[in-house]
Amino acid sequence: MAQHKARTTCNRDCPDACGIIATLDDGVVTKLEGDPAHPVTKGFLCFRTSRFPELMASSVRVAQPMVRRNNRLEPATWEVALSLIAAKLVQVREESGAEAIFHYRAGGSLGILKHMTDLLFDEFGPCTTKVGDVCSGAGEAAQQTDFGTSDSNDLFDLLNSKHIVLWGKNPRVSNVHLVPVLNDAKKGGTQIVSIDPLHHKSSSLADCSMQLRPGSDYELAMGVARVLFDSCQVHPDAPDYCDNFDAYRALVHQCDVAQWAAKTDLSEADVRLLAERFAEGPTAILVGWGMQRRQRGGAIVRALDALCAISGNLFRSGGGVSFYFARRKSFRAFGPVVKHPRTIREPLLGQDMLAADPPIRVMWVTAGNPVSMLPDAKNVAKAIEQTEFVVVADCLMTDTARRADVVLPIPTLLEDSDLLGSYGHHWIAESQPVVAAPSGVRHEVRIFQDLAKRLGLEDYPQASIDQLKRKALATVSGQGAGLDSLRRSGALRSPLASPLLFSDGRVLTKSGRVQLLDVAPDEVQTSAPPAKNSSSEPLWLFSNSTAKSQGSQWVGDGLGDRSWIKVHPDALPGIAEGTIVKVASTTGEIEVELRHDAQQRVDVAIMPKGGHFDRGQSANVLIAARATDVGLGAAYLDCLVRIGPR
């Protein structure tokens, strides 16, 4: 048996962008391990990626083009599939204009070459595109307002922190390669605070855990700021490096410390204890993504930004407020920014598509599974089903692909060739195929190039994949991060990333000063379904990441026949664990298995993110389509449900 090892990089929607070492026996991947030479991966992988070969070999793999005939998806040749697509695109553009063609690209793969599909539809149209970001929209927009960028200090600067606040962050599940850094920091004396409505796997990392009222992160941040103002522990230079200082101080003084604490269900002592950590510093805030998936999610992140700034921690080594690492800044764009004739709001995709006038006639989906992953899942499915012609490029037969007229098979992460940045650290890397894709599978760049020829797009790049990679790296190639350097090293720290994001004491806003929050957020608008049949009190639904799924891609046994919901035993007295119950919201309902967890708050319910829609497992059936206050994110967590007998 011939055995060898090959190196690549994980391209899925995760902050870690891990280096992978694949073991192959006679050309078959038999084992995946973390690359020990990668400074962040350090030799281990999460459960999801280490078990990926199971998913790649499963029955949901798409290995040849599929075309809908007689209401069924049937195998077809590439010639038939691409000819059909090209003819339809030209027909619809001639009859209805390019705005009737909707190109939807999401983050199922974070490869930079996936942006080549944007260029195709921009040159063919420009066509309708999506606007907003259901993953990080509110948080990124908030930090762009406050700091002029959404980026972070070097990951390993956390080793210089005296305190680290995991604010709504569960790295043991959603950012596993952060955990060794946190453990190393603790060995050096760093204290960790966890702030989260939920008790989760990362709670054990913390020296102190605070389970606040769901959605009250803004109030907690303001309460901490009030302590700092009252005790004269605001940094003396804060009025000089912050704009809106007086207006922000007025917001903080709307309540006293006890009143702010009462709004969070925490004690005044808890708020003062947290304030001590910010005053002592250096203190770093690691911002989880869940809290900004609320209607006032931008205001919440802005309150954390302001707290970091006025406490003097923003410009210190070991400080900072880390929400995102700017993963694309090392790469050059493939085309200019164009003005699109129409946009569809991603968090409101179902209702926007259904209301579109003139209607969307063609939809192309790249790196996404909107039926499973977007709020108001029933309307998303309905909108796609009512679209005249749908193309999905994917390696798996997803809920969205099953509704397509053409499914184009593309490489899995072990067959792909691309470039990757990370939104959890500053290293960039290349992905290369460690195993050959099935003969019926094509790289997306090749698909776009073939289509461009058929569509008469003479300016569309027809270069090799390697040439396109070199073009994307042109900004950093002269600084030691070219393609050849990546191939020798496996991963390189971006030369555009400084150890400290704001090392000169200025942010990247127009004034060079932090833009402090100066207007209080609106009250959250949501409602619970009516009580009936011995149902529970209204519970806040959390649809969270799990250790066994990457979005809607589950490995192992997945969710089985049903999804589950986890609550405190007192939330639903009289109904035994393991019972099949009905979960209802004002938007929909779903049947799941009941699980108990006495460490949770009695007012929360937890379901896994990414359950399959067609199997009746998707939490997004319950979640209304609502946008965040800024950034057009999705307010997934402003959802009240009741649980009762089925």
Q: Each residue of 346-391: pLDDT tens digit?
A: 999 999 999 999 999 999 999 999 999 999 999 999 999 999 999 9
Q: What is the CATH number of the domain that holds 570?
A: 2.40.40.20
Domain C-terminal end among 483, 515, 547: 515
Q: Are residues 161 and 274 in the same domain?
A: yes
Structure tokens at 252: 């903080």
The single-letter code of the amino acid at 131 is: V
CA distance 63 to 415: 12
Do 309 and 353 fall within a single domain?
A: no
In a domain, 504, yes or no: no
As a whole-number percent, the residues of the chain with pLDDT over 90 amount to: 95
Q: pLDDT tens-digit profile of 413-469?
A: 999 999 999 999 999 999 999 999 999 999 999 999 999 999 999 999 999 999 999
Residue 197 preceded by cis peptide, ω within 30: no
Beta strands in 3-144 (DSSP E): 3-9, 19-25, 28-34, 66-69, 72-75, 101-105, 128-131
Q: Are the CB atoms for 322 and 284 separated by under 8 Å?
A: yes
Q: Please indicate, yes or no, whether residues 338 and 375 belong to a single structural domain of this protein.
A: yes
Q: Establish if 406 belongs to a structural domain.
A: yes
Determine the 3-state secondary structure of 108 from DSSP.
Answer: coil
Residue 352 domain-assigned? yes
529 within domain boundaries: no
Paired with 391 in beta bridges are: 364, 406
Task: Give Cα separations from 178 to 4, 42, 225 (angstroms).
Answer: 30, 11, 27
**What distance in Å separates the CA atoms of residue 506 and residue 504, rounded to the nearest whole number?**
6
Dist. CA 581–CA 539, nearest whole Å: 14
CB 59: neighbour CB atoms within 10 A? Answer: 6
pLDDT tens digits along 566-586: 999 999 998 999 999 999 999
Digit-coded pLDDT (tens) for 158-188:
999 999 999 999 999 999 999 999 999 999 9
Same domain? For 204 and 290 the reply is yes
Written as one letter, the residue type at 380 is: V
Q: What is the pTM of this model?
A: 0.97
Which of 311-331 are b and which e, b meaning 16 or more Cβ less than 10 Å from the residue's Cβ?
bbbbbbbbbbbbbbbbbebbb
- What gap in Å lies between CA 217 and CA 487, rounded to an integer? 43
Name the token pair of 119: 């260029």
φ/ψ (deg, to 5) at 284: -105, 135
Regarding whether 476 and 341 lie in a shared domain, the answer is yes
In three-state secondary structure terms, 268 is helix
> Is 526 a domain residue?
no
Q: Which residues pair with 606 in a beta bridge?
A: 542, 566
Question: For residue 381, what is the domain's CATH number?
Answer: 3.40.50.740
- Residues 255 and 348 occupy one common structural domain: no
Give me the CATH number covering residue 27: 3.30.200.210
Q: Are residues 289 and 350 in the same domain?
A: no
Same domain assignment for residues 78 and 25: no
Taking every pair of Cα atoms in the chain, the longest distance, rounded to a whole number of angstroms, is: 74
For residue 552, the model assigns a pLDDT of 83
Residues 475 and 332 sit within 8 Å (Cβ to Cβ): yes
How many domains are contained in the chain? 4
Q: Is residue 506 part of a domain?
A: no
Residue span of the structural domain in which 44 resides: 3-56
Q: Are residues 195 and 278 in the same domain?
A: yes
Residue 535 three-state SS: coil
Sheet with 163-167, strands from edge to edge, namely 208-210, 191-195, 163-167, 283-287, 321-322
Of 481, 515, 549, the residue at which a domain comes to its end is 515
What was the pLDDT predicted at 1?
60
Q: Which residues of the chain have pLDDT under 50?
A: none
Query: Residue 179: which H helix or E strand, with range?
Result: helix 179-187
462, 381: one domain: yes
Asked whether residue 287 falls in the same domain as residue 342, the answer is no
